[in-house]
Chain A
């Protein structure tokens, strides 16, 4: 069974960089699929952050693109998110996810349990 688990600081100061890591078990991330991040701010809906293909190409939400970086570490079977210059608006539960994709769309078939990141001084 594929499992994903997010880890990282739960509190980040404004203007600093948010860094999260997703550890995958039950599947080798270098074997296929897309891997990415989705968040849910308090009281709001889900927002796609970005996705990386197993061979490296990345796809970012245009509204966040200037601040995001997603990378793979296949030796550890992990992928990571870096979001720079954070503000209170970046406070959210962050989920890592595995995605099958076709020519007509991508979806998430496995989610991490989510980790709350609060931006506050």
Chain B
């Protein structure tokens, strides 16, 4: 059971917009700890997609965006492409656990 809750899977057709939610608690996302998102393509290491809620590292397309409100955060992907098919993880910090925490991951399928 992950501390941050993500849907196990989402799907969308090419060109569509999808969102992935990440629900935390009052001691993690709700405590104003920032949220980060990673993309893990099959057979590869994760890569940083969004940091500090809504910032993109250089090289990440602006089709990817992050937002946060209350105890939840979201990753939005617009103009869905076949190469976006991957696992996506959110990550933050939990002060009650004194630990970095990850979501369980969401598998994105491009139909």
Write the residues of chain A forming the contact surface with B, with a CB cutoff of 8 angstroms.
Answer: 44-48, 51, 61-63, 95, 102, 104-109, 111-114
Contact = CB atoms under 8 A, between A and B. Distances in A.
A104 B103 contact: no
B99 A62 contact: yes
B47 A111 contact: yes
Which size bracket describes the interface of B in this complex?
20 to 34
Given A45-B105, A104-B52, A109 B34 contact: no
B46 A46 contact: yes
Given A45-B103, A48-B101, A106-B93, 14 more contacts: A44-B104, A45-B102, A46-B38, A46-B91, A48-B102, A51-B100, A95-B45, A104-B52, A106-B100, A107-B36, A108-B48, A109-B51, A109-B57, A111-B47
Q: Give the interface centre of A46, A104, A113 by most chain B CB atoms within 10 Å.
A: A46
B63 interface: no
A111 B99 CA distance: 19
A102 to B, nearest CB: 7
B104 A107 contact: no
A70 to B, nearest CB: 13
